């Protein structure tokens, strides 16, 4: 079991991050350089909105400490690559979506530890407190996030034709990796999951809906076109489960807090698909 947590999860996350980096094209980089301040502004506002949502839900519903920890963990993570696919389905600006995902991922080795430290300190009581070694976590995330993403970008730059030939295969591998993570988390924490299943489901639904509403509000606040608004809308709620898993289970040593992250993203799928159907229909 320890070998899965200590070795398999990091390897899966590194694979996912390489594929995320390999999805970046020269056009995406040019797109980013056209207005980098907009991307940074959106990324910062997303972090603020996610923090406010965690505070709001905690004070209104007062969930179990493990659920609060899981909520803070998933909120602290950068955007997930699935947001790019949701943006594509909604006919949004996919290049802008990919740029947002990359920017949030590159910033995550700094923002994630600080967010978790602040969230745990503010929302958890003394008995439930989880120690967050901020400096150590930054260093570990630098090697687990930044370097694999940059390696993926180099693969795309130097072996573009080769990657285009196999990119569907690699994307499917990452989806299988995510599914494996979900199965492992559910199996390893099955007792906890059965005890807290109704609370987890309720809080995951509430968290998804409130973040989605916050995303709608954010698109009205920032002066962007409709397609970019759709990219922002899906980037905010979609978080990176792989990073949540490696941070919670491997780096912090608390697999139980990853359960909420997994439930959050599973419940999110039908909600966002309904939103996409509504956008395309109306």
Residue 67 lies in a domain: yes
Q: Note the pLDDT of residue 2.
A: 53
Residue owning tokens 């020269």:
26
Q: Strand, helix or coil at 239? A: strand
Sequence-distant (≥ 6) Cβ neighbours of residue 158 within 8 angstroms: none
Which segments of 62-189 does DSSP mark as H helices, in order?
65-76, 82-89, 94-123, 134-141, 147-158, 160-188
What pLDDT is attached to residue 53?
94
Domain limits at 51? 2-277
CA distance 127 to 147: 36
| 200 has pLDDT over 80 | yes
Domain count, the chain: 1
Q: What is the mean pLDDT of the chain?
A: 86
Work out the average pLDDT over 253-267. Answer: 88
End-to-end CA distance of the chain: 49
Domain membership of residue 86 (yes or no) is yes
Stretch 237-265: mean pLDDT: 87
Q: Is residue 175 part of a domain?
A: yes
Tell which residue, 50, 95, 9, has the closest CA to residue 215: 50
Angle at 255 between CA 253 and CA 260, to 5 degrees: 135
> C-alpha angle with apex 90: 44 to 79, nearest 5 degrees?
30
Compute the average pLDDT of residues 77-88: 89
What is the reported pLDDT for 4?
57
Specify if 12 maps to a domain: yes
Q: What is the pTM of this model?
A: 0.87
Residue 6 has pLDDT above 70, yes or no: no
Here the CATH number for the domain that contains residue 31 is 1.20.1530.20
CA–CA distance, 252 with 274 (Å, rounded to integer) = 35
CA angle 189, 194, 198 (to 5 degrees): 120
Is 56 inside any structural domain? yes
Across the range 35-47, mean pLDDT stands at 88
Answer yes or no: is pLDDT of 209 > 80: yes
Token representation of residue 260: 């909420």
Residue 94 or residue 24, greater confidence:
94
Contacts of 259 (CB under 8 A, 6+ apart): 66, 70, 185, 186, 189, 192, 193, 196, 200
Cα 123 from Cα 111, distance rounded (Å): 18
Higher-pLDDT residue of 3 and 172 is: 172
Tokens standing for residue 201: 């489901």
Residue 282 falls inside a structural domain? no
Q: For the segment 145-171, what is each residue's pLDDT rounded down to a tens digit? A: 888 888 988 988 888 888 888 888 887
Closest CA to 43 of 122, 119, 91, 96: 96
pLDDT of residue 270: 94
pLDDT value at 35 more than 80: no
The pLDDT, as a whole number, for residue 75 is: 94
């Amino acid at each position: 079991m320890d070998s899965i947590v200590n070795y398999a999860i990091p390897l899966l996350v590194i694979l996912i991050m390489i594929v995320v980096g390999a999805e970046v094209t020269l056009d995406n980089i040019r797109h980013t350089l056209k207005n980098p301040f907009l991307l940074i502004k959106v990324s910062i506002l997303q972090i603020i909105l996610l923090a406010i949502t965690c505070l709001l839900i905690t004070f209104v519903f007062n969930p179990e400490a493990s659920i609060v920890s899981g909520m803070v963990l998933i909120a602290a993570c950068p955007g997930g690559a699935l947001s790019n696919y949701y943006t594509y389905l909604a006919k949004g600006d996919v290049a802008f979506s990919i740029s947002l995902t990359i920017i949030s991922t590159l910033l995550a080795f700094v923002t994630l530890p600080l967010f978790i430290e602040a969230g745990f300190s503010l929302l958890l009581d003394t008995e439930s407190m989880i120690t967050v070694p901020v400096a150590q976590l930054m260093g570990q995330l630098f090697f687990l996030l930044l370097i694999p993403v940059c390696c993926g970008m180099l693969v795309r730059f130097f072996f573009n034709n080769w990657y285009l030939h196999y990119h569907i295969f690699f994307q499917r591998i990452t989806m299988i990796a995510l599914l494996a993570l979900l199965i492992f988390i559910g199996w390893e924490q099955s007792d906890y999951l059965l005890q807290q299943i109704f609370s987890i489901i309720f809080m995951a639904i509430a968290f998804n809906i409130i973040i989605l509403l916050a995303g709608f509000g954010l698109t009205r606040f920032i002066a962007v076109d409709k397609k970019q608004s759709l990219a922002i809308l899906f980037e905010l709620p979609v978080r990176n489960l792989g990073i949540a898993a490696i941070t919670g289970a491997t780096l912090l040593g608390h697999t139980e807090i990853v359960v909420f992250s997994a439930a959050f993203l599973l419940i999110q799928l039908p909600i966002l698909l309904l939103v996409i159907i509504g956008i395309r229909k109306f």
